[in-house]
Amino acid sequence: MKKLVFLTILVSILPLLFFSNSNTYAQTLEHVQIYEAKQGDSFYEISMTYGVSELELKKINDQQSVTSGEKLIIPERVPEAEKDLLARLVTAEAKGEPYEGKVAVATVVLNRVENEQYPDSIKEVIYEKRQFQPVDNGMIHNPATEEAEKAVNEAIAKQGTGNGSLNFYNPNIVDSEWHRTKTVTAEIGNHVFTK
């Protein structure tokens, strides 16, 4: 397995050796992060620690389980500023909701980033016009709670494994025919999630 990881790294940087200047090569090596697995580690725990997708972590390392002492490539992380913004949105949108509901709200934003109908970054999705009330009322500027930060890390770790929710609303507050035309994916706390 270690040979496979080495070959994966080598194949990904070989073009840089032949087609790029040495500065680009050095910068690429700086961005490759390697983690040495410890006894009892799991892909999920590593994903939560580093704030990366568990599926992406498995894919980039081409394996399904972790062995103590092996070196794993860590995929590119979500930028800290975007994680903080998402945690602030979750804090405002899911105040008073159960933890699972906070994870689901964060997941909606991440699903939108991956969906061709929406912008390609967390920041652009959150600030898209008239999508999230905390942006309109200024609550997005309040600090994130610790629970919301944890929920964001969990949503990132589980990215790609959910039910594809792209929207959520509180039916006690919003009465929208548009929402009612969507497929319900989950009901958590006061929120209905749809796609």
CA angle, corner 120, sides to 115 and 124, nearest 5?
115
Digit-coded pLDDT (tens) for 116-162: 999 999 999 999 999 999 999 999 999 999 999 999 999 999 998 77
Domain 2-74 homologous superfamily, CATH: LysM domain (3.10.350.10)
pLDDT of residue 16: 43
Domain 80-194 homologous superfamily, CATH: Cell wall hydrolase SleB, domain 1 (1.10.10.2520)
* Calpha distance 12→16 (Å, rounded): 8
pLDDT of residue 140: 97
The position carrying tokens 């999230």 is: 132
Residue 88 has pLDDT above 70, yes or no: yes
Phi, psi of 186 (to 5 degrees): -165, 155
Torsion angle (degrees, nearest 10) of CA 90, 91, 97, 103: 30
DSSP letter at 57? H
Same topology for domains 2-74 and 80-194, yes or no?
no
Residue 163 has pLDDT above 90, yes or no: no
Domain boundaries of the chain, sorted by first residue = 2-74, 80-194
| pLDDT tier for residue 44 given thresholds of 50, 70 and 90 | very high
Regarding pTM above 0.95, the answer is: no
